């Protein structure tokens, strides 16, 4: 029998928290969304350039967006399943491109929040400080309004849904000798615009979407940009096609106190800046040991299907941990699942069975030779996972055109790294998607 309406705490009002709030309320529950920022949008709330106190560190008050950022997924693929990210008045559109600038995504998320009347559920400028289990009662959530002091106000909820994002706490590469290297180091989290790098020699570590974008952005003004990619063969030292001042190297071997940086092939560059585009760490500073989860080498452990810690399921859940995915539809499906499980409409296996599933998943990763830090990397099975969630919730599988368009974009990005956002070969899929969207746009 479905339970009565539950009082639920949702941490974060980014895309995941908004999706969760919508699905939880749709299921008849009463979610309260805690958001430390003054607005919804999370990652997509761009903050203008400012001098970060620690250019290598996190700052809770700003997201990781840079000024020039355009989406790396086409809008048809990226949007929520039944609230298409089309360039229309309904989504507040002002940038109709298929790969729009970041401002358009924020407008879309704001439109989503308005459309489903989510704003009244959000307590803005309120940070969750602690989440503590009260056996037999629920979960005590301590929160504090911005500007207030003290240990916060505590309230008890039936369950907590964690949607705090994972692009805030920088992961930094280890470089022998860097402590005596005299240049400046920073993390892409604190990168906004290329101008401060005018005429400088910049080394960018990483090969992800941010490293690719930022290296091109910086190369527009810098004297030289050198990308250090740990997966490139040691002998790599290539000028990049179409650029006079952009090189690809293998990883850095060491940094030296005369300002030089040596790559694994032995080549040496005198550099002004090392920028770490090396990703982020999962971080849940408000959770204690009673959450039963532990983060080690970027594995959030143990979680059944990357959502529920078996020991305390379903009273604690996590939306949005997987990466190398299409995030918004995945958030939506995870949220539907959590909402249905919380109301008792969808059943979870026993604790023991969930733990067995987690162990089997880890063994499979090991057999594939995947490092622990790739536990939540879904590059090989995001759609399998989405469709499994959909099946649990009695929802149709991900549309075939979305799967094909994601594959076409991945291929196009590899073939046209400089221009994939403006040139493509999948117009037929965009037509099919827009035909499909008509059912939601009446
Ligand atoms: P977030 O957006 O980070 O939201 C988390 C929210 O939780 C924040 O608002 C934060 O303030 C709040 N919060 C955290 N801790 C607390 C606390 N203790 N108390 C109260 N509130 C708290 N995705 C795409 O689909 N397409 C793209 O093109 C794309 N490009 C990206 C580019 C960059 C540079 C980055 C970093 C990410 C990109 N992503 C992209 C992924 C993007 O992160 C997701 O699309 C999505 O926005 C993540 O949403 P989230 O809700 O999980 O996290």
* pLDDT tens, residue by residue, 235-274: 889 999 999 999 999 999 999 999 999 999 999 999 999 9
Cβ(65) – ligand 1 distance below 6 Å: yes
Dihedral sign from CA coordinates of 49, 51, 55, 60 = negative
| In the block, residue with structure tokens 């401060």 | 196
Q: How far is CA 221 from each of CA 215, 216, 218, 411, rounded to the nearest angstrom?
A: 11, 10, 6, 29
Q: Are 80 and 329 a contacting pair, CB within 8 Å?
A: yes
Percent of the chain's residues with pLDDT above 90: 90
Query: Ligand 1 center to residue 40 CA distance, Å?
Result: 10
Query: Ligand 1 center to residue 243 CA distance, Å?
Result: 32
Cβ(161) – ligand 1 distance below 6 Å: no
Q: What is the pLDDT of residue 1?
A: 44
Three-state secondary structure call for residue 438: helix
**What's the whole-number average pLDDT of the chain?**
95
Burial of 244 (0-12, 13-18, 19+ CB in 10 A): exposed
Query: Ligand 1, closest atom to CA 17?
Result: 51
Query: Ligand 1 center to residue 305 CA distance, Å?
Result: 20
pLDDT tens-digit map of 347-365: 999 999 999 999 999 999 9
Query: Ligand 1, closest atom to CA 320?
Result: 52
Q: What is the pLDDT of residue 153?
A: 95
Q: What is the pTM of this model?
A: 0.96
Task: Tell how far CA 212 is from the center of its chain.
Answer: 17
Kindly indicate whether the ipTM for this predicted assembly is greater than 0.95, answering yes or no.
yes
pLDDT tens-digit map of 32-70: 999 999 999 999 999 887 776 788 887 766 889 999 999
Q: What is 284-350 written as a DSSP string?
A: -TTB-GGG--EEETTEEES-BTTTB-GGGTTTEEE-S--BSS-HHHHHHHHHHHHHHHHTTSS----
Residue ranges with strand state E in 121-191: 122-123, 126-134, 138-145, 153-157, 159-162, 169-170, 184-187
Cβ(340) – ligand 1 distance below 6 Å: no
| Cα–Cα distance, 225 to 202 (Å, whole number) | 5
Q: Hey, how many other C-beta atoms are within 10 angstroms of the C-beta on 107? A: 18
Q: Are 197 and 221 a contacting pair, CB within 8 Å?
A: yes
Rounded to whole angstroms, the maximal C-alpha distance in the chain is 70
CA-based nearest residue to 60, from 42, 76, 72: 42
Pocket test for ligand 1, best of 43, 74, 275, 409 (most atoms within 8 A of CB): 43
The residue nearest atom 21 of ligand 1, judged by CA position, is 35
CA-based nearest residue to 129, from 139, 147, 143: 143
Q: What is 104-138 written as a DSSP string?
A: HHHHHHHHHHHHTT-GGGEETTEEEEEEEEETTTE
What token pair was written down for 314?
């379903």
Q: Are 281 and 171 a contacting pair, CB within 8 Å?
A: yes
């Amino acid at each position: 029998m479905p339970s009565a309406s539950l009082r639920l705490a949702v941490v974060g009002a980014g895309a995941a928290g908004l999706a969760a709030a919508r699905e939880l309320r749709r299921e008849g529950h009463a979610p309260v969304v805690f958001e430390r920022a003054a607005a919804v949008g999370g990652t997509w709330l761009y903050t203008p350039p400012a001098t970060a106190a620690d250019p290598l560190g996190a700052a809770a008050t700003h997201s990781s967006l840079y000024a020039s950022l355009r989406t790396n997924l086409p809008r048809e693929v990226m949007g929520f399943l039944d609230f298409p990210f089309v360039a229309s008045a309904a989504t507040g559109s002002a940038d109709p491109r298929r790969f729009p600038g970041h401002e358009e995504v924020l407008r879309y998320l704001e439109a989503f929040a308005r459309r489903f009347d989510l704003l009244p559920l959000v307590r803005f400028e309120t940070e969750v400080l602690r989440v503590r289990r009260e056996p037999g009662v629920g979960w005590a959530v301590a929160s504090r309004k911005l500007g207030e002091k003290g240990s916060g106000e505590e309230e008890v909820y039936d369950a907590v849904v964690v949607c705090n994002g994972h692009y805030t706490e920088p992961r930094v590469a280890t470089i022998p000798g860097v402590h005596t290297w005299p240049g400046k180091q920073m993390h892409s989290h604190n990168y906004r615009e290329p101008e401060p790098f005018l005429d400088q020699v910049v080394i960018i570590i990483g090969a992800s979407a941010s490293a690719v974008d930022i290296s091109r952005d910086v190369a527009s003004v810098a004297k030289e940009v050198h990308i250090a990619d740990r997966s490139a063969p040691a002998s790599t030292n290539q000028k990049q096609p179409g650029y006079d001042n952009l090189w690809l190297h293998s990883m850095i071997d060491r940094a030296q106190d005369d300002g030089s940086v040596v790559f694994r092939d032995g080549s040496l560059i005198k550099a002004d800046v090392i920028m770490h585009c090396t990703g982020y760490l999962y971080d849940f500073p408000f959770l204690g040991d009673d959450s039963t989860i532990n983060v080690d080498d970027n594995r959030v452990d143990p979680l059944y299907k990357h959502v529920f810690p078996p020991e305390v399921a379903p009273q604690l859940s996590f939306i949005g941990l997987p990466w190398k995915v299409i995030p918004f539809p995945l958030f939506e499906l995870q949220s539907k699942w959590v909402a249905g499980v919380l109301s008792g409409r969808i059943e979870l296996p026993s604790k023991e069975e969930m733990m067995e599933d987690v162990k089997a998943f880890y063994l499979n990763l090991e057999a594939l030779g995947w490092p622990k830090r790739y536990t939540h990397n879904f590059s090989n099975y995001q759609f399998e996972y989405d469709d499994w969630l959909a099946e649990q919730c009695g929802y149709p599988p991900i549309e075939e055109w979305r799967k094909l368009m994601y594959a076409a974009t991945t291929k196009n990005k590899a073939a046209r790294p400089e221009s994939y956002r403006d040139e493509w070969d999948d117009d037929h899929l965009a037509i099919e998607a827009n035909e499909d969207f008509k059912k939601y746009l009446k």
